Amino acid sequence: MGIVVQGATHECNTHSLDCADLPYTITSWDEQQLSEIAVVDANNDGSTWGLLETLPDKYSMQYRYNRYNAADDYIFLHPVRLTTGIDYEAQLYFHAGSDSYREEFSVGIAPNTDLTKTQTLLPTRHIDSKESTRYNVRFTVDTEGIYHLYVHCTSPANRHMLYLDSLFLDVCGEASIPNGVENMTLTSDHRTPHVVNIACKTPSYCANGAPLAQLDELVIYRNDKPIHTIAHPDTGIVISYNDTVDIIDNYTYAVIVANDKGPGHAVQKEIVAGTAHFPFTHNFMDGIGFFTINDRNADGVTWHLSDERFGGCMRYISSAVEDADDWLFSPPVYLDGSTRYQVEYSCCVGLSSYPESMCVMLGFVPQPQEMSVVVSRLNDFTFINDTVIVAPFDVHVPGIYYMAFRAYSKADSYAILLRSMEIDEYDPNSVLSLHIDNFIRGGNGYIEVDSHAAVDVSIYNLLGEKVGSFIAHRDTRHNIDPGIYIIHAGTVVQKIVVL
Ligand SMILES: [Ca+2]
Ligand SMILES: [Ca+2]
């Protein structure tokens, strides 16, 4: 994103009168202020921040929507001098122009010399309230210097108005509150992905740089809810806590320490943790979800989300010189081993003239060398229509498992498209045998069966009703209406899609 500054920019140094004093406060807007701050219409569409006269000589600061473009519009406020070792607090009040259009913004600071080096203070927030709403952040800076508080509006196209009502920036509370914790880490082991270890070091200094005499408490939050409190922790020590979560998600943890003067600023981090619920279903039209990619041959060409053909899928694209060794790992799923399971997946190749190879593997850790069991294999497959493959498998040990799609096509092939996957209890009606020495494909208005020997083919709909039959020998096509069918050919049963 290129930033184009259309408003005024500032030259400011230690002695400049342009620097605003702390506390820095704006409670109403006028033309003078607008001339002193920088409005950046980064998407250059002419719809941006500006003053709206609400009463004679009374103005609001308003982002005005664009019907076709999402907002990408900044206000860089007056320059202020900020120092390391001090906790600052910013409070901003916003409201939306309509309670049926949700507006979107974030808040940060940027050093005076480089408005592109932004530090986010308040990640993206949504507001659809016509009531003025307070947003509060505490922060520190790593480098002493001149900074601009900024607001970045990112509302989608064709929304309404976003108003910045007022703002306040000052040294936070008493300067003798504690500093934030240091060296915060979140870790989760692949074998126990539902357990998150939170570790950090308690501060030794106050926000004003003076030694910290004592701490009253340390509180750990998960997604803004307190989950663990340590009373009177020592200063300058490492603390560690294990939290257990359920469903896989992106979790935010925050740690806040307090002394008798009040709480220091929150230190927070995010982690993906938890397991997927069984049965597990994912369609890549909904994005990559909690799948992970490993470009094991490190050639820079690997699985990626693509909107090729009808909606989203994962796509492996071949390198001209390297054989594929590219892995797509599922999120962790708990399998208790009390039943037989199946994986069902839908895939095809990019061009029928380029055979591709892919297998599905199972293991305890989402690393290629840990995936030992082959559940399903498609060697040199060439079908270009989405085809559903069902493969049964057993686990002998209850536990948390990962499944991987490994592309191993030869160099200079073309592409593999993977649409969806599902891990469920084995359903004998969906597959009798995976031993395919004859290929079954769904085509454009036909079913194709390729068998060395003559074989009886029966066609069933998804209700189990027989809707047709034919005899296949070599490569045989049978015309049929578009739909999803279960094909029984010799010893093979397979679900297919006819377009
Ligand atoms: Ca704009
Ligand atoms: Ca690769």
CA 297 – ligand 2 centroid, Å: 5
Q: Is the same domain home to 246 and 281?
A: no
pLDDT bucket at 26, cuts 50 / 70 / 90 = confident
Residue 499 is predicted with a pLDDT of: 84
Amino acid making up residue 386: D
Domain membership of residue 346 (yes or no) is yes
Q: Is the pLDDT score of 337 beyond 80?
A: yes
The stretch 370-393 carries a mean pLDDT of: 88
Token duo for residue 441: 């494909």
Q: Is the pLDDT score of 208 beyond 80?
A: no
- pLDDT per residue over 445-476, tens digit each? 999 888 766 778 888 887 777 788 888 877 78
CA 57 – ligand 1 centroid, Å: 25
CA 356 – ligand 2 centroid, Å: 14
CATH of the domain at 496: 2.60.40.10
First CA to last CA across the chain, in angstroms? Answer: 41
Query: Which ligand ends up closest to the CA of 65?
Result: 1
pLDDT bucket at 7, cuts 50 / 70 / 90 = very low
CA 369 – ligand 1 centroid, Å: 49
Residue 113 is predicted with a pLDDT of: 64
CA 71 – ligand 1 centroid, Å: 5
CA 145 – ligand 1 centroid, Å: 29
Q: Is the same domain home to 422 and 472?
A: no
Q: Is the same domain home to 241 and 328?
A: no
List, in sequence order, every beta strand (DSSP E) within 330-482.
Answer: 333-335, 341-349, 356-363, 371-381, 387-393, 399-407, 415-425, 439-442, 446-460, 466-479
480 CB-near residues (< 8 Å, 6+ apart): 445, 446, 447, 459, 468, 498
CA 325 – ligand 2 centroid, Å: 6
Q: Is the same domain home to 141 and 56?
A: yes
CA 117 – ligand 1 centroid, Å: 20
Q: Is the same domain home to 148 and 32?
A: yes
Domain range enclosing 213: 182-273
Token duo for residue 96: 């939306």
Q: Is the same domain home to 88 and 216?
A: no
Query: Which ligand ends up closest to the CA of 301?
Result: 2
Q: Is the same domain home to 222 and 289?
A: no
CA 316 – ligand 2 centroid, Å: 8
pLDDT bucket at 316, cuts 50 / 70 / 90 = very high
Domain membership of residue 70 (yes or no) is yes
**Mean pLDDT in the chain?**
87
pLDDT bucket at 309, cuts 50 / 70 / 90 = low
CA 63 – ligand 1 centroid, Å: 9
- pLDDT per residue over 124-159, tens digit each? 999 998 888 888 888 988 889 999 999 999 999 998
| Residue 181 near residue 257, CB atoms below 8 Å | yes
Q: Is the same domain home to 118 and 258?
A: no
